[in-house]
Structure 1
Amino acid sequence: MIFKSYQILYKVLAKSAYVNIALNSGLKSVNEKDKKVITRIVYGVIEKNLFLEYIIKQLTKKYPHISDAVILKIGIYQIYFMNEPEYAVVNNMLKLAKKLKRSPSFINAVLRRCKDVKMPQDDYQKKSLEYNAPVWAIKELEKDYGRQTADLFFSHPKKQLIHIRHNPKKITSQDFEKYLDFERDKKTEYGYYVCHNTLKKLNNIDNSLFTVQSLGSMAVCMAADVQDGDKVLDVCAAPGGKSVFLSQLAKISLISCDIHPHRLELINSYKSRMGENNIEVILNDATKFIPQWERRFDVVLCDVPCSGLGVLNSRSDIFEHKTLDIINELTKLQYEIISTSSKYVRQGGRLIYSTCTILKKENQDIVNKFLRNNPDFESAPVNIAVNSLNIGNYVQLMPHISDTDGFFIAKVQRK
């Protein structure tokens, strides 16, 4: 059980694997009782990673080898947060160290002293350890929204339910709701939050009756306000959730693009499962201009690559390998994509710019710069049914306001 926890965490912390994918893969041959413990350890270590890093750094002159660090994080997490007897945890970690041919004496020395470490006195360092967020991210949000909103964002409880929607091609909402348990599940503006038991039951019945899609992702599509006959282009479409939903909202023609060939397979698989085989899937770099698409589309969706910081509520590992420098580079790509994609919007047509982040430099600043440089476009109101933080015509979804991840949505229209 401890070895399996180590294997999964090593993939996440050393190989940059997604925690949910690594966990699902690692648990395939594990019994139910052990699954619960392993899941708690894996997610616990990720959710407390900066706290665990702080403890290790206080007790070592040089940061240890990644294998040692993963062993220590598992041990420290159990001692601090699982109320396991210290002697039992240490013994298990020493066995793991021997199995991995690491130094048991080093592991023993750190774990025996981990409860003696004093916590930092600096307010930002304290918040960083409490929220499992780097200091730069806390300061950025305070600068953008003020301290109160930043604290509410970072301290919002992790979402335990999963957001899904029914597939209107296969089942009506009334018939679909017969499968739900409304003592635990609940209806939202565009779908349903369901518990894991409901999701498991639905998968066992027919996984084409529904799809997992966040409320924020659905709100982006609703903001596009597609109408029958619209020609629609989704420039950064993988894995295909927004393209498929747009296709089900009205009788439209839709081209769905991505820059990575393997991610086109995800779109094709998704559209086939949901019965939307009319979507044309194309390999395309959204920064490269396609002359034959110029002013051809009624709606262009730019759900651009972003830092993803808005999904902290559902992805505790989102800050892994993220820095402010990396995000500043991303903003250049984001602006390039919206600038290129705007050329495809016909007169009177609209472009939807969206991200799953909350940083103004990736959101309002990009759209404001675009509007300054493109006087033939104007900002248009975003009309959605989800509660949000409204910034002029722009919409910023926040977990503590919108009951979903932090999505940004803007609509611009060619005059």
Structure 2
Amino acid sequence: MTTKNTVRDIALDALLEILEHDRYSHIVVGRTLDKFRYLSRQERAFLKRLIEGTVECRIQEDYVIGQFSTVKIKKMKPVIRTILRMSVYQLFHMDSVPDSAVCNEAVKLAMSRGFSGLRGFVNGVLRNIARKKETVTWPDRSVQYSMPQWILDRWDRDCGKEACAAMLKAFSEPSGMTVRVVEGLEPEQVIRSLKEDGAAVTELWPDRRILRLDGVDQPDMLRAFQEGKIRIQDLSSALQGYAAGFKAGDTVIDVCGAPGGKAIHAAELVGPEGHVTVRDLSENKILLTEANIAQTGLSNLTAEVRDASRFAAEDEEACDVLICDLPCSGLGVIGRKPDIRYHASEEAIRDLAKLQRTILETVWKYVKHGGTLVYSTCTVTREENEDNRRWFLEHFPFEAVDITGRFGDGLKDATLKEGYVQLLPGAHPCDGFFIAVFRRI
């Protein structure tokens, strides 16, 4: 049986990659869980939570350490800094782990990594925190929710303080896994199969086809996944597919589509008479996309390397629907990728908004007259969403499409404005996501 100390060793290596070498957390977590598939279900759950939680709560952890350590956190050895961060996360957020065990295992980690001389420092800081943790108070929302202040200020301004508070609460809660039942299948039988395999199933929207699964860390062990009856896809992403209004036989181009989730949904909706071409900038992304396509068995879907910012004359007026789910700041998926909050910046948001405009002014001619362009992002910023939507309508021969009827009762009417929707965590059971639909005149 693998010990928790070994699991903490694995977590420490992953956290050093993420926190000290600037690797993306979702990639590191996925690779780590895949590498250590032999761990028990309980150990894998502990490992995943410890890595993701430590990354998410870094601001809070650093604040606590700063209150009890005479050594500034920036002056610490990277290994010691990371051990303290992951230990503080356990002390404050993992009640099932005794404080004494947290301190003891931290000392063992320091010693095993060649820092025996600092074991007294690690032990002293953590035991002092453990004794006095009930007296710790958070000075502001930024520390309480480990969210950079500039993001809070932006959300207060753009979304309102109430919506900001709801997002913070939603991002701090477990997100679970969301799957979509393959189009054409009866959801009831799939739900029954998932429950028999031990998944806790919550039916989201629409028509019982989008499901949240809890208690699942290896989806490929589910019969429904093995049999190709479900796809891993967030509700927000699936809603984009329904907003597009695909028809049987449509020709579709997805210009920035890796790893292929939206294109796969589109291929199911247009049927065998239609065709979807999914593109992305790098060969590695397309290889991953092709692997995902191969798992589906769909024959009406192809992937290719293409730079969306470069015009392809052969594609002019070639598609009925153009999917433009464009590179963005990703602030809507912080719940799944907690380190995004630390990579984002106001400058990056401005640069991404410009890139989105560059791509849109390049690809709009691919749409047939009367055809549809769907613009979406997985973020919550005015510049990348509402401002770019307004700019597009002002500069190109398109009109807004009323998408209200395409969501049924799944969304509150108040969220649908002038042919677009801004999904907000806390208000909706999904990632933060923006969808706007246009028709070429």
TM-score by length of 2: 0.85
What is aligned with 1:167?
A: 182
2: CA distance, partners of 1:344 / 1:350: 10
What is aligned with 2:395?
A: 373
CA shift in 2, pair 1:320/1:25, >3 Å: farther
8 Å contact kept, 1:303–1:355: yes
8 Å contact kept, 2:369–2:440: yes
Which of the numbers 63, 72, 93 marks the counterpart of 1:54?
A: 63
Q: Aligned letter for 1:381? A: D
What is aligned with 1:110?
A: 125
Which of the numbers 210, 219, 230 marks the counterpart of 1:191?
A: 210
CA shift in 2, pair 1:341/1:172, >3 Å: same
8 Å contact kept, 2:152–2:164: yes
Q: Which stretch has the larger CA shift, 280-289 or 59-68?
A: 59-68
Q: After TM superposition, give the deviation of residue 314 of structure 1 in Å.
A: 3.1
Q: After TM superposition, give the deviation of residue 240 of structure 1 in Å.
A: 0.6
Q: After TM superposition, give the deviation of residue 140 of structure 1 in Å.
A: 0.7
Aligned pairs for 1:265-284 (under 5 A) are: 265-284=287-306
2: CA distance, partners of 1:79 / 1:218: 38
CA shift in 2, pair 1:165/1:36, >3 Å: closer
User: CA deviation digits over 1:92-130, x for unaligned, max 9?
Assistant: 222211221233344345334444786454xxxx21122
Query: Unaligned regions of 5+ residues in structure 2, if any?
Result: none
2: CA distance, partners of 1:161 / 1:62: 32
Q: After TM superposition, give the deviation of residue 90 of structure 1 in Å.
A: 2.9
Aligned pairs for 1:7-406 (under 5 A) are: 7-15=13-21, 16-19=23-26, 20-25=29-34, 27-58=36-67, 59=69, 60-61=71-72, 63=74, 64-83=76-95, 84=97, 86-102=99-115, 103-114=118-129, 115=132, 119=137, 121=139, 126-156=140-170, 158-168=173-183, 171-181=185-195, 184-187=200-203, 188-189=205-206, 190-197=209-216, 199=219, 202-203=222-223, 206-251=226-271, 252-374=274-396, 376-382=397-403, 383-385=406-408, 386-387=410-411, 389-406=415-432
Identity %: 27
Runs of 4+ in 1 over 6 A off after TM superposition: none
Q: Say which SS state the counterpart of residue 383 (structure 2) adopts.
A: helix
Q: Say which SS state the counterpart of residue 320 (structure 2) adopts.
A: strand
2: CA distance, partners of 1:80 / 1:226: 48
Q: After TM superposition, give the deviation of residue 88 of structure 1 in Å.
A: 4.2
Q: Aligned letter for 1:52? A: E
2: CA distance, partners of 1:280 / 1:37: 39
Q: Say which SS state the counterpart of residue 133 (structure 1) adopts.
A: coil
Query: Unaligned regions of 5+ residues in structure 1, if any?
Result: none
What is aligned with 1:5?
A: 11
User: CA deviation digits over 1:1-44, x for unaligned, max 9?
Assistant: 22222122222222314343144135324344433433332233
8 Å contact kept, 2:200–2:215: no
User: CA deviation digits over 1:316-338, x for unaligned, max 9?
Assistant: 33323222222222111111111
CA shift in 2, pair 1:372/1:181, >3 Å: same
**How many residues were matched structurally?**
409
Q: Which stretch has the larger CA shift, 39-48 or 180-189?
A: 180-189
Q: Aligned letter for 1:405? A: D
Q: Aligned letter for 2:309? A: T
Q: After TM superposition, give the deviation of residue 74 of structure 1 in Å.
A: 1.8
8 Å contact kept, 1:167–1:274: no
8 Å contact kept, 1:298–1:345: yes
Question: RMSD between aligned alpha carbons?
Answer: 2.6
Q: Say which SS state the counterpart of residue 228 (structure 1) adopts.
A: coil
8 Å contact kept, 1:158–1:314: no
Q: After TM superposition, give the deviation of residue 228 of structure 1 in Å.
A: 2.4
CA shift in 2, pair 1:35/1:199, >3 Å: closer
2: CA distance, partners of 1:373 / 1:24: 47
CA shift in 2, pair 1:294/1:40, >3 Å: closer
8 Å contact kept, 1:297–1:344: yes
Q: After TM superposition, give the deviation of residue 410 of structure 1 in Å.
A: 0.3
Q: Aligned letter for 1:35? A: R
Q: Say which SS state the counterpart of residue 305 (structure 1) adopts.
A: coil
Q: Which stretch has the larger CA shift, 3-12 or 180-189?
A: 180-189
8 Å contact kept, 2:194–2:223: no
Q: Aligned letter for 1:216? A: S
User: CA deviation digits over 1:341-387, x for unaligned, max 9?
Assistant: 1121121112100011111111111111222222x222222232331
2: CA distance, partners of 1:349 / 1:113: 65
2: CA distance, partners of 1:99 / 1:201: 34
TM-score by length of 1: 0.89
Q: Say which SS state the counterpart of residue 70 (structure 1) adopts.
A: helix
2: CA distance, partners of 1:236 / 1:185: 31
8 Å contact kept, 1:221–1:245: yes
